[in-house]
């Protein structure tokens, strides 16, 4: 059977820093991602795409804030669902256009994906994930009065910002649908933005005000699909030690023990490379074969082992 790849694309690859975020800009960015991915599909790989949504969710919350009080507030799970539809459509259209340009008979489908989390996860006792716009102290106090459950924290002198929990993902509900589509040769877009967080209450699912890390969800999906590789696309070609220092050096290959040691040394920043390394270690500990961390521009070379960073079991 052909190898299965789970490829995680960061939300900042779709809406780049410094861009206004127009539809044209985002489609252009998505099209740039599609070429290397379609090349892998043409080679026979079974492909699952997981995308980030941080900038897009932030924009939705900005729009809601600008329209207040005329427009009712949105819950975070609904914002995540909206971005799954928005970005799934963008990826589908861009991949279909790439198929046509290259005369490839291919298929791509997006799955609105729910991820189960535990409401007793310690993350809910200490929300840390900032989302949405900055507020003045007066507006933050007003929001707090209107919604006592909302948590707002001052952010480095820049204003007040909402923070939500980032619980550990357990599994995605739609995994059997993803498997079925893979078996029919579809590229499958799933787990967008880390999935829509839901919890189990009795015999039903309920939406949860949280944001699940996209890389951790990618690892869960790769585990459940028994994928051959988890590929995490980021803004740098390789993982580095001493990043940004004169002693900076790239890592082409490292085993799980070396990765853990580097992480213990503080080599990987919490808001940047650390979640990707944690996702890699989790996937490999659950039986995964290999993790590749690279940029979209170096994806082909990374799959050949000449670029990127490959992480494997010790």
- Are 233 and 273 spatial neighbours (Cβ–Cβ below 8 Å)? no
How distant, in Å, are the alpha carbons of 35, 169, 193, 203, 299 from that of 293? Answer: 18, 21, 18, 39, 9
Tell me, what DSSP letter sits at residue 2? Answer: P
How distant, in Å, are the alpha carbons of 15, 164, 165, 173, 309 from that of 123? Answer: 28, 9, 5, 21, 30
**What are the tokens at 181?**
């589509």
**What are the tokens at 229?**
């590789």
What gap in Å lies between CA 220 and CA 203, rounded to an integer? Answer: 23
- Are 6 and 221 spatial neighbours (Cβ–Cβ below 8 Å)? yes
**Overall size of the chain counted in residues:** 314
Q: Which of 29, 52, 132, 276 is catalytic?
A: 276
Active site includes 107? no
Active site includes 11? yes
Three-state DSSP state, 208: coil
Extended strands (E) in the chain: 4-9, 46-51, 107-110, 114-116, 129-135, 152-154, 160-164, 171-172, 186-189, 196-201, 204-207, 229-233, 239-241, 249-251, 253-255, 290-294, 309-312
Q: Which of 16, 97, 107, 129 is catalytic?
A: 129
- Are 117 and 198 spatial neighbours (Cβ–Cβ below 8 Å)? yes
Tell me, what DSSP letter sits at residue 232? Answer: E
Q: Which of 194, 214, 282, 308 is catalytic?
A: 214
Active site includes 12? yes
What gap in Å lies between CA 257 and CA 262, rounded to an integer? Answer: 9
Residues serving a catalytic function are 11-12, 129, 214, 276
């Amino acid at each position: 059977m052909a190898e299965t790849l789970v490829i995680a694309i960061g939300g900042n690859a779709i809406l780049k820093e410094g861009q206004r975020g127009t539809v044209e800009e985002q489609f252009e960015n998505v099209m740039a991602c599609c070429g290397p991915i379609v090349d892998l599909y043409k080679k026979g790989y079974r492909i699952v795409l997981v995308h980030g949504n941080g900038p897009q969710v932030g924009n939705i919350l900005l729009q809601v804030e600008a329209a207040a009080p005329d427009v009712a507030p949105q819950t975070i799970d609904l914002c995540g669902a909206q971005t799954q539809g928005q970005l799934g459509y963008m990826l589908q259209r861009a991949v279909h256009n790439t198929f046509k340009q290259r005369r490839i008979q291919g298929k791509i489908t997006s799955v609105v994906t729910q991820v189960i989390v535990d409401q007793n996860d310690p993350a809910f006792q200490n929300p840390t994930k900032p989302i949405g716009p900055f507020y003045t102290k007066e507006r933050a106090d007003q929001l707090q009065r209107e919604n006592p459950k909302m948590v707002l924290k001052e952010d480095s002198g820049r204003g007040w910002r909402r923070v939500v929990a980032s619980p550990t993902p357990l599994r995605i509900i739609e995994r059997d649908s993803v498997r079925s589509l893979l078996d029919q040769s579809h590229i499958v877009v799933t787990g967008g933005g880390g999935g829509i967080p839901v919890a189990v209450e009795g015999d039903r699912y309920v939406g949860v005000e949280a944001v699940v890390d996209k890389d951790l969800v990618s690892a869960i999906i790769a585990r459940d699909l028994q994928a051959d590789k988890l590929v995490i696309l980021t803004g740098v070609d390789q993982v580095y030690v001493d990043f940004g220092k004169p002693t900076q050096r790239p890592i082409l290959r490292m085993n799980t023990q070396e990765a853990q040691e580097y992480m213990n040394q503080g080599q990987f920043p919490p808001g940047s490379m650390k979640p990707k390394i944690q996702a890699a270690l989790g996937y490999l500990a659950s039986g995964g074969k290999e993790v590749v961390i690279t940029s979209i521009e170096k994806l082909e070379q990374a799959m050949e082992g000449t670029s990127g960073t490959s992480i494997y079991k010790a």
